[in-house]
Structure formats: structure tokens, C-alpha cells
A and B are shown apart, each in its own frame.
Chain A
Amino acid sequence: MSMLPIISNFQGDFVLQLVAVDSENTMDQVAAAAAHHSVGRRVAPQPDKVIRVRRQDAQAFFPQDARIGDLGVQPMECLEFIFTDAA
């Protein structure tokens, strides 16, 4: 358990934001933490979609149930949060 600050670049939002997550959090939990600061504030909710997370410039998303602390994500790394069709 340790605090991990990351940078959220949320699809459709206009600004990068600071989001604090826990290294034990799954990527779904990380996505929810980032969504809290964007969705319903400046980004319209898309309830039928799933928010997936990837590194900036990456194509592939992290597995939804992977723990962020196990993925080598650096403190203050910029992650992209993307609305995707549910599997």
C-alpha cells in the first residue's frame, strides 16, 4: 500500500489533472478515480462504455484487473483514460 500520484489525461477533457491512487488499486479503480475529476464535470458520462487505461502513445490498454503497482507505472506518469466498448 502506497500512494501513487499519476497524471490523468481523460478522453474529451481539456486538461491534465493530478490523481492520487494506491499502488494496490486495479486499473478499473484507477479509471474510476480519474473519472471522478472529469466525468460529470466537463465530460459527459457514457454509461454503456468501459473506461480503459493506457500509457501515453501506447495502443494497448492495461488489463482492467491488473494492479497499478505491478505495472511499472512511474509516479507522475501521464496515463490516458479512454471510453471503449464493453467486451
Chain B
Amino acid sequence: MAILERSKWYDLARATNWTPRYVAESELFPETMSGSLGVERSKWEAYDEPYKTSYPEYVRIQREKDAAAYSVKAALERTKLLENAAPGWLSILKAHYGAIALGEYAAMSAEARMTRFGPAPGMRNMATFGMLDENRHAQLQLYFPHEHCKSDRQFDWAHKAYHSNEWAAIAARHTFDDLFLARDAISIAIMLTFAFETGFTNMQFLGLSADAAEVGDYTFSSLISSIQTDESRHAQIGGPALQVLLANGHKEEAQKRVYMGIARAWRIFGVLTGPAMDYYTPLSHRKQSFKEFMQEWIVGQFERSLIDLGLDLPWYWDKMIEEFDYQHHAYHLGVWFWRPTVWWNPAAGVSPDERDWLEEKYPGWNDTFGKCWDVITENVLKGNIDATKPETLPIVCNMSQLPICAVPGNGWNVRDYPLVHEGRTYHFNSEIDRWIFQQDPSRYRDHMTVVDRFLAGMIQPPDLSGALKYMNLAPGEMGDDADNYAWAEAWRNIAATRRAA
């Protein structure tokens, strides 16, 4: 049977729209689900997706991608990578799987919402493929770590994390619920595909795949690059939606969604990718600091796509760029210090050589974050491990759900950004987090942070053991120092003068 070439029918198909006769337009595409901001549907037909594909083409390519990823995995299953990999690399894998795998299912639901309620036919078409993509990502990233569960229970958190009240899982859920699971189709197009995917994950997955190849983890490298090729396609759903909104006088609403999306995505990147790049990745494999990565790929590239669309840079742009110098260092210190509360083993990454690298990439690191690590290092060397662990909870931001933290030592600039709303005081990590809350207080006001829950008596007994139980962290799952403190031993023979230098 002869099949028409795609170019012969695609434009007709993509402009084909429903003309409802039995129900009102507003019932078929309710504003709460569709979010078209009152732009008529005929105007949405101008939506022009840059990446055009048909279902048979999609299936053929996806089948090849899946076959390639699974065959690399099968071929390398017996290579004992896990036994030989640097502990920090294993931590990157565990943190990644737990934080991302089920988030892909949430993204699938979000794509499904665009598939059903997207006001433009081309958008619904692209989102259908996006939905299938995200399902594939969830399944791959649950299946790949599964083989390791029998030897290491922390890998079980690929599936378990989102079903727990572990604090980082709460932070991930809160962010993803806000950016895409609990949004209308157009907001999803902007906040998930444009802000989060174009702005962050597409680039991050490129980098992560390269890093995996660099450390010799070809299974993970091929998995991540397989996912990234989907991402680079469906991330393009948001751009044309923004163009339609801009053409119809909705720049402000469109921009606001972009700004909220970037701000929230940045926090998740700060806590996951920041420590991975600057502390967990073995020194010999580091190519770029997290800050350099953020400046080159996120600021450089993303700034251009904002400007190309005719959008203004966010009001907080300079402030966010300032945070590249310190926020992830603070998150790393927090994750390491509260390590029993995470499902991976954080690598401290502060051996003498690593600290030299940090000082070179972040001048002043020794005088700020280094001051805290000096105290920690001394305690480790004295065998006083208890003093390197917490006895209380950090205060958690009412937006990011991450600890409120900043620069310690001689650059001390930590502070609370409080807000009283309807008689309740909320605490934020920065003006940016507080601004997001203020855009829609009723959306956020009832959520309780881990600290709020603790104070409400929901965590029993009210101490660290109760908190670990509440977070569902069993022995063998709780994090500990990835290198069993070997990094501190290197300090024993180093003259104190060097540390001061």
C-alpha cells in the first residue's frame, strides 16, 4: 500500500481541530485545564511546532533507541561497574534515580494534560509523543537501577523515594507538582517544557551523559543520552505556545510562568547537580565547575532563547547568577551533614586536592565554606564522628522545601526571608522564593514543611530517630560518608599552614 509522504498531509492534519456541536467550547476545553488565557482557539491554530514527526516515524525511532539502551545494559551487566566505580559516582546514580524516575511519571501526566487540553492541534500532537517519551523515561530509570537492589538497598529508592516523606523527595514532589502536575496545559507547556526542560534538563542530561562516559559507566551514559534525545524534541512544545500568548497580548502572564519555572528548577539543580559536579565527581573527571556549567549553558543559552522570543530577563536574574557562587556549596554541606536523612552516600569532596580545586573555581571558598569543613575535618580526624552529625532539623524553606542556607565563615550572609500571610509566618531562602509564594498564596499556604510537621507533633518521637522513621529510611538505606572518611586522612600529614594558605 502506498503511503503518502509526511509533508503531503502533515500541515492539514496538524491544523485539524474539533468543532464541538453538542457541548460548549468551554466545556470541551475548560479554562482550568486548558489555561489558554482567553485566547480564541482559532488564534491557537497559529501554533507552529518546530519538530514535526508522524506516529509511524516516532515508533520506529523510539524502538531503535530502546533497543540500543537495553542492549548496552545487557552487554555490560557483568562488568562489575558498581564494584569498581568511585563511591561518589554511585551516589550520583542513586540521587539521580530517586529524584528523577517517578518525576518522569508526573511529567507523563503533564504531557497527557497537554495532549487532551492543549488548545492547539499541533501542540496536542507533539504532547502525545511527549507523553509516550516520559513513560519510557520512567520505565527505563526504574528498570536500570533495579538490578542493583539486591546488593545495595539504596538503589531501591529509585522507586521508593517519591512514596516517602524523605525531605529531598518532598522537595522534588513539591516542585514538580507545582511546575507541571498541578497546572493547566499552557502553563505546563511554559513551566515544564520551556523553563524546566529547555532551560535545564536538556543541557543537564547532555552533561550527565558525557560525565558517565568519562567515568566509564557506558550503561548510564547510553541511558541518559537516549532520554536526552526525546527531551530535546518535546522540550520544544513551550516555545510556540509562548509565541501565541505574546502575539495576543499576554506577555506578562507568560513571563510570570517562565520566571516561576526557572526559579524553582534552579533550586532542584542546585541541590542535585551542584554537589554532583563539584563534590561527588572524582576530581580527575571534572571538566567544568557547576558555576561554569550554569553560566555557559543555562545563562548563555537560555538567556538567548528568552530574548529571541521577546521576553524580558527575570527581575531576579542577577541575584540568581550571584547564587551560582554559593547556593550549591551550602546545599552540599547540608546534605553531607544531615547525611543519615538521604538515600545516597554523599561524597564530602574536601580532600586537600579537592579543596585546592574548589578555591581555584570559587575564590574565597576556603575562607567561607572551608571554615565549616575545617571544623568537620578536625572532628573526623579526632574520631569524633558524633560531632559531624546533626541533633536538630535545619529550617526548611516554605517554597523550595530545602534548608535555608547561604554563605558561612567570613562571608556569613545567612538570613531568613519571612512573610506573614493570614496570621501564619512563612520562612523562605531568598526574595525569589518569597516572590513565588506571593504570586499565588492560596496555592501554597497550606503546605507544611518537614519542620512544620515536626512542630505539629506529626513526627514521633520528636528527635532525629523519629525523623528518620518518618522519612522511611531503614538501616542500610540511610546515607553515610561515601568514602568512609578517607578524604580526611589526607589532611593528617598536611601542615596546618597549607590549610590556612
Which positions in A face B, CB cutoff 8 Å? 5, 7, 9, 11-19, 36-37, 40-44, 56, 74, 76, 78
Contacts and interface: CB of A to CB of B under 8 A. Distances in A.
A14 B333 contact: yes
A16 B337 CA distance: 13
A15 B403 contact: yes
Nearest to A20: B392
A55 to B, nearest CB: 11
Given A7-B427, A42-B337, A16 B414 contact: yes
Contact of A17 (B330, B394, B415): B394
Contacts of B406: 14
Given A37-B392, A78-B416, A78-B418, A14 B425 contact: no
A15 B393 CA distance: 10
Contacts of B72: none
A18 B372 contact: no
Contacts of B407: 14
Nearest to B371: A12
Contact of B330 (A9, A15, A41, A56): A15
Given A12-B408, A78-B427, A7 B375 contact: no
B395 A17 contact: yes
B246 interface: no
Interface residues of B, number: 37
A5 B333 CA distance: 24
Interface in B362-410: 369, 371-372, 374-376, 379, 387-388, 390-395, 403-410
B315 interface: no
Nearest to A19: B392
Interface of B: 330, 333-334, 337, 369, 371-372, 374-376, 379, 387-388, 390-395, 403-410, 412, 414-416, 418, 425, 427, 451, 454-455
A41 B369 contact: no
Given A9-B415, A37-B390, A76-B427, A14 B369 contact: yes
Contact of A42 (B376, B415, B418, B454): B376
B451 A13 contact: no
A44 B374 contact: yes
A53 to B, nearest CB: 15
A44 B378 CA distance: 10
Interface SS, A side:
loop
11 contacts: A7-B395, A12-B409, A13-B372, A13-B408, A14-B406, A17-B395, A18-B394, A18-B395, A18-B454, A40-B379, A40-B387
Among all A-B residue pairs, the 10 with the closest Cβ atoms = A14-B408, A78-B416, A16-B395, A42-B372, A15-B405, A16-B404, A18-B393, A15-B394, A14-B405, A14-B330
Nearest to A42: B372
A73 to B, nearest CB: 13
A16 B408 contact: no
Nearest to B334: A15
Nearest to A76: B425
Contacts of B395: 7, 15-18, 78
Q: Name, among A41, A42, A76, A78, the residue most crowded by chain B CB atoms within 10 Å (CB to CB).
A: A42
B401 to A, nearest CB: 14
Given A37-B392, A40-B379, A41-B387, 18 more contacts: A7-B395, A9-B416, A12-B409, A14-B406, A15-B333, A15-B334, A16-B395, A16-B414, A17-B394, A18-B454, A40-B387, A41-B337, A41-B376, A41-B390, A43-B375, A43-B408, A76-B455, A78-B416
B388 A41 contact: yes
B397 to A, nearest CB: 9
A13 B376 CA distance: 12
A12 B409 CA distance: 4
